[in-house]
Amino acid sequence: MLAATSAGCILTKDIPDPALEIPLVCVFLNEYYPPLPSAARCAQLGAAIADAVRDRGERIAIYASGGLSHFPGMYNAGWIDQPLDHWILERLQRNDLEALQHLFTFDSDAMRSGTGEVRAWISVAAAMNRPATRVDYIPAHCTQTGCGFVYWP
């Protein structure tokens, strides 16, 4: 299993592999501090991951975590940019990597801070290279984060 995460790898006692026999490779992306990877660079990472695992015989899971829009420590903390979140989710559903690769190419408060975690989503979308299925979207005001859930069938 490959995991691209902004929060790190989390193992609990209830994992489906308590003996830890399933190989796990964590890929950590810099999503907060300059120099930041461009969205295009994240897509290149995803494509490279796909190339690396394409001919493997076993089933591979690729997992990304990270919120959509959120702005901890900024003047707009608590605001959730729902139109941006829906735009990102729609691009994932359409497999529109071309559009996603243009994120972060312009300076906008909406693209700073925690919203940078979208880089992990872009990496996995590029690795999967097919339309995602949207499960849910929650503008979670209790955590001040746009939370999306998708998978690639």
Q: Residue 20: its pLDDT value, please?
A: 74
Q: How much is the pLDDT for 42? A: 96
Q: Residues in the chain with pLDDT < 50?
A: 1-12
| Residue 112 confidence (pLDDT) | 87
HEC sequence for the chain: CEEEECCCCCCCCCCCCCCCCCCCEEEECCCCCCCCCCHHHHHHHHHHHHHHHCCCCCCCCEEEECCCCCCCCCCCCCCCCHHHHHHHHHHHHHCCHHHHCCCCCCCCHHHCHHHHHHHHHHHHHHHHCCCCEEEEEEEECCCCEEEEEEECC
- Please give the structure tokens belonging to residue 82: 């729902």
The pTM is what?
Answer: 0.86
Position 57 scores a pLDDT of 86
Q: How high is the pLDDT of residue 51?
A: 95
What per-residue confidence (pLDDT) applies to 1? 44
pLDDT of residue 144: 93
Render pLDDT for 55-84 as a digit per residue (tens, 0 to 9): 988 888 888 888 999 999 888 899 999 999
